[in-house]
C-alpha cells in the first residue's frame, strides 16, 4: 500500500530549509564551522522599514536651487584641540590592510579625499598608501595591537579605540594564512602564511575604568590634539555609549549587526548583536541623558547603502555614518563583470563573502599581487567618490523635502515606520498612527 498523496505537492520545512540542511551536511562532512566575511544575511528590521513624511501644508520644504542644505559635520569637539570637519557625514569604516589589498586601501583614501571625508585604518596597522592618499585618516587602536605603532598615532588625524564590531560583539576576527604575505606578516610581527585570530578584548583592560586610563594615555601621546573615538558593536548601546562618554570619548562609533567583517564565524555573524536600527535610539538617549548629544558625536554603521539610509540614521540622532561593504562594492567588489571567476570559486557576484581566503577576482580583498594589480586605485577611487557624492545628494534632497537647512536638523518627527518592529526599535509612530510600542523602555 502506498502512502503517497497525489493531491498536495511535497512540502519543505520552514525550520529545516535548504540552507539549514546544507549547513548540517557541511558540518557533518567537515567537522569545522563556517567562517565567512560580510554582515548578517538574514532579514532584520532595517532603515527600509522607515519612511520620511516630507513637507506639505503643515511643513515647509526648502527650494533646492536657491536654499542651501548643509552637509558638513565636525567630529571631536569635546576635548580634541584639532577636531575634524568633513564635507559629508558619510565616512569610510575601518577595514584592515591584510583583509584589503594595498591598492584597495589607496583607492579608499583617494575616493574619500575627493568627497571630503575620512577613511580609517584597521587591524594590521597604517599603510603608506592610505596615509599618503587620505586627507583625513582615522587610526584604529585594536585589541590585537597588530601593526600598532606610536609614530602612526601621531601621523593620524584621529584615533579610534575599537572595543567591538557589530558583526561580532565580544568576538575576534580571522585572517587566514593565505593572506599573511611578507608585507602583512612584517607589519603585524607575525609569521608568514599562518592563520591568525585577532583578540576579542584589549590585553590591558579589565573594565571601563581602564578605558578611561587608556584614553588619557592616547591623549598624552598625541598632545591632546586628536579626536578619540570609541567603536562598539551593537549589543547594549545605552550603557556602552554612557560608559564611552564617561571614559572620555570625543566620538562614539556604533556598529550594528548588519555591519560587515573581513572574516568570522557565520554563527556569530547571524546570531550575536542587535540590528543597527535598534541601536541608535538607546545610544542617542544615553547621550541626551548625559547632556552630551551633539557634544560627543555619534557615528552609526552597519548596512548603510544609500542617501536615504544616511538621512534616516541622522534623523534618529546620529551625527554621521560609516560604510564598509558599500564602499567595497563601489570600488568594484562583487561586480558581475567577474562572474566567470566567481563561478570558478563556486560562488556568484553578490554572494561572494569569503574575503578571508584572498582569492577575490576584483583584486580588493586579496594579497595576491596578480589579483591586487587588477584594481586601478585611481579609477576605483573615482567610483567611490561618485558614490559618496550621490549618497550625499540623496540625503540632502530628503532633508530639503523635510524643510531642513542642515542634515542634522532631520529628526525622528520626520519619520514613520512601516512595521511594528521598526516602530518599536526606532521609536517613531507606525505610519498612519501616532503610536509606537514600548515607549520609554530599552
Ligand X SMILES: Cc1cc2nc3c(=O)[nH]c(=O)nc-3n(C[C@H](O)[C@H](O)[C@H](O)COP(=O)(O)O)c2cc1C
- Cα–Cα dist 276/258, whole Å: 7
Q: Is 165 one of the binding residues for ligand X (CB under 6 A)?
A: yes
Q: Closest separation between CB of residue 323 and ligand X, Å?
A: 4
Residue with cell 590591558: 204
Q: Is 320 one of the binding residues for ligand X (CB under 6 A)?
A: no
Dihedral of CA atoms 392, 393, 399, 400 in degrees, nearest 10, equals: 150
Which listed range, 48-56, 62-70, 204-212, 299-307, lies at the site for ligand X (CB under 6 A)?
A: 299-307
Nearer to ligand X, 262 or 296 (CB): 262
Q: Is 304 one of the binding residues for ligand X (CB under 6 A)?
A: yes
CB within 8 Å of 180: residues ≥ 6 apart: 98, 188, 190, 191, 192, 193, 194, 196, 367
Which listed range, 18-26, 179-187, 281-289, 318-326, lies at the site for ligand X (CB under 6 A)?
A: 318-326
Q: What is each CA distance from 183 to 64, 193, 368, in whole angstroms?
A: 49, 11, 11
- Cα–Cα dist 303/154, whole Å: 31
Q: Closest separation between CB of residue 163 and ligand X, Å?
A: 9
Q: Is 140 one of the binding residues for ligand X (CB under 6 A)?
A: yes
Nearer to ligand X, 93 or 158 (CB): 93
Nearer to ligand X, 94 or 317 (CB): 94
DSSP structural state of residue 298:
E
Q: Is 91 one of the binding residues for ligand X (CB under 6 A)?
A: no
Helix segments in 170-306, DSSP class H: 182-188, 208-221, 237-247, 266-271, 276-289
Q: Closest separation between CB of residue 328 and ligand X, Å?
A: 6
- Cα–Cα dist 88/81, whole Å: 21
Interactions with ligand X, residue window 362-391 (CB under 6 A):
365
Among 45, 76, 89, 94, binds ligand X (CB under 6 A): 94
Q: Is 260 one of the binding residues for ligand X (CB under 6 A)?
A: yes
> Three cell numbers at 325?
561593504
Nearer to ligand X, 50 or 299 (CB): 299
Q: Is 243 one of the binding residues for ligand X (CB under 6 A)?
A: no
Binding string, 396-435, against ligand X, x = CB under 6 A?
----------------------------------------
Q: Closest separation between CB of residue 417 and ligand X, Å?
A: 21
Dihedral of CA atoms 426, 429, 431, 434 in degrees, nearest 10, equals: 180
Q: Is 302 one of the binding residues for ligand X (CB under 6 A)?
A: yes
Cβ atoms of 142 and 160 closer than 8 Å = no
Interactions with ligand X, residue window 96-115 (CB under 6 A):
96, 99-100
Q: Is 237 one of the binding residues for ligand X (CB under 6 A)?
A: no
Q: Is 262 one of the binding residues for ligand X (CB under 6 A)?
A: yes
Q: What is each CA distance from 204 to 124, 169, 211, 213, in whole angstroms?
A: 19, 18, 9, 10
Rg (CA), the chain: 22
Q: Is 324 one of the binding residues for ligand X (CB under 6 A)?
A: yes
Nearer to ligand X, 260 or 414 (CB): 260
- Cα–Cα dist 266/27, whole Å: 12
Nearer to ligand X, 166 or 307 (CB): 166
* Closest residue to ligand X, based on beta-carbon distance: 324
Q: Closest separation between CB of residue 311 and ligand X, Å?
A: 16
Residue with cell 569637539: 77
Dihedral of CA atoms 218, 220, 222, 227 in degrees, nearest 10, equals: 60
Q: Is 123 one of the binding residues for ligand X (CB under 6 A)?
A: yes
Which listed range, 219-227, 264-272, 320-328, 421-429, lies at the site for ligand X (CB under 6 A)?
A: 320-328
Phi first, then psi: give them for residue 400, nearest 5 degrees: -60, -45
Which listed range, 221-229, 323-331, 397-405, 423-431, lies at the site for ligand X (CB under 6 A)?
A: 323-331
Q: Is 334 one of the binding residues for ligand X (CB under 6 A)?
A: no
- Cα–Cα dist 254/26, whole Å: 34
Cβ atoms of 403 and 422 closer than 8 Å = no
- Cα–Cα dist 120/145, whole Å: 15
Residues binding ligand X: number (CB under 6 A): 31
- Cα–Cα dist 93/98, whole Å: 15
- Name the residues that contact ligand X, by CB under 6 A: 37, 39, 93-96, 99-100, 122-123, 140, 162, 165-166, 231, 255, 258-262, 301-304, 323-326, 355, 365
Amino acid at each position: 500500500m502506498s502512502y503517497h498523496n497525489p493531491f498536495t505537492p511535497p512540502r519543505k520545512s520552514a525550520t529545516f530549509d535548504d540552507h539549514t540542511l546544507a549547513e548540517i551536511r557541511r558540518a557533518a562532512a567537515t567537522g569545522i564551522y563556517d567562517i565567512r566575511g560580510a554582515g548578517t544575511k538574514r532579514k532584520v528590521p532595517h532603515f527600509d522599514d522607515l519612511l520620511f513624511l516630507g513637507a506639505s501644508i503643515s511643513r515647509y520644504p526648502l527650494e533646492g536651487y536657491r536654499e542651501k542644505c548643509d552637509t558638513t559635520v565636525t567630529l571631536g569637539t569635546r576635548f580634541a584641540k584639532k577636531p575634524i570637519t568633513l564635507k559629508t557625514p558619510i565616512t569610510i569604516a575601518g577595514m584592515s590592510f591584510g583583509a584589503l589589498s594595498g591598492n584597495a586601501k589607496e583607492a579608499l583614501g583617494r575616493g574619500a579625499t575627493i568627497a571630503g571625508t575620512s577613511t580609517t585604518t584597521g587591524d594590521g596597522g597604517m599603510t603608506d598608501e592610505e596615509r599618503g592618499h587620505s586627507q583625513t585618516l582615522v587610526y584604529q587602536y585594536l585589541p590585537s595591537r597588530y601593526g600598532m605603532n606610536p609614530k602612526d598615532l601621531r601621523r593620524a588625524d584621529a584615533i579610534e579605540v575599537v572595543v567591538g564590531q557589530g558583526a561580532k560583539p565580544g568576538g575576534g576576527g580571522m585572517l587566514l594564512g593565505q593572506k599573511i604575505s611578507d608585507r602583512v606578516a612584517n607589519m603585524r610581527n607575525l609569521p608568514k602564511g599562518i592563520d591568525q585570530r585577532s583578540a576579542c578584548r584589549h590585553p590591558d583592560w579589565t573594565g571601563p575604568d581602564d578605558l578611561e586610563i587608556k584614553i588619557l594615555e592616547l591623549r598624552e601621546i598625541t598632545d591632546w590634539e586628536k579626536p578619540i573615538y570609541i567603536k562598539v558593536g551593537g549589543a547594549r548601546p545605552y550603557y556602552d555609549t554612557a560608559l564611552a562618554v564617561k571614559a572620555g570619548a570625543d566620538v562614539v562609533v556604533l556598529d550594528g549587526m548588519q555591519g560587515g567583517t573581513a572574516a568570522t564565524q557565520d554563527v556569530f555573524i547571524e546570531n550575536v548583536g542587535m540590528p543597527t536600527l535598534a541601536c541608535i535610539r538607546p545610544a542617542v538617549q544615553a547621550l541626551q541623558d548625559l547632556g552630551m548629544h551633539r557634544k560627543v558625536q555619534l557615528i552609526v554603521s552597519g548596512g548603510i547603502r544609500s542617501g536615504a539610509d544616511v538621512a534616516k540614521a541622522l534623523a534618529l540622532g546620529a551625527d554621521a555614518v560609516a560604510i564598509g561593504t558599500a564602499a567595497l562594492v563601489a570600488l568594484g567588489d562583487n561586480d558581475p563583470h567577474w562572474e566567470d571567476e566567481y563561478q570558478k570559486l563556486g560562488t556568484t557576484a553578490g554572494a561572494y563573502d569569503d574575503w578571508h581566503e584572498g582569492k577575490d577576482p576584483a583584486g580588493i580583498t586579496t594579497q595576491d599581487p596578480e589579483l591586487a594589480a587588477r584594481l586601478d586605485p585611481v579609477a576605483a577611487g573615482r567610483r567611490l567618490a561618485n558614490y559618496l557624492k550621490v549618497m550625499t545628494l540623496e540625503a540632502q534632497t530628503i532633508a530639503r523635502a523635510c524643510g531642513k537647512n542642515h542634515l542634522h536638523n532631520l529628526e525622528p518627527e520626520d519619520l514613520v515606520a512601516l512595521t511594528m518592529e521598526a516602530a518599536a526599535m526606532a521609536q517613531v509612530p507606525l505610519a498612519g498612527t501616532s503610536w509606537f510600542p514600548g515607549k520609554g523602555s530599552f
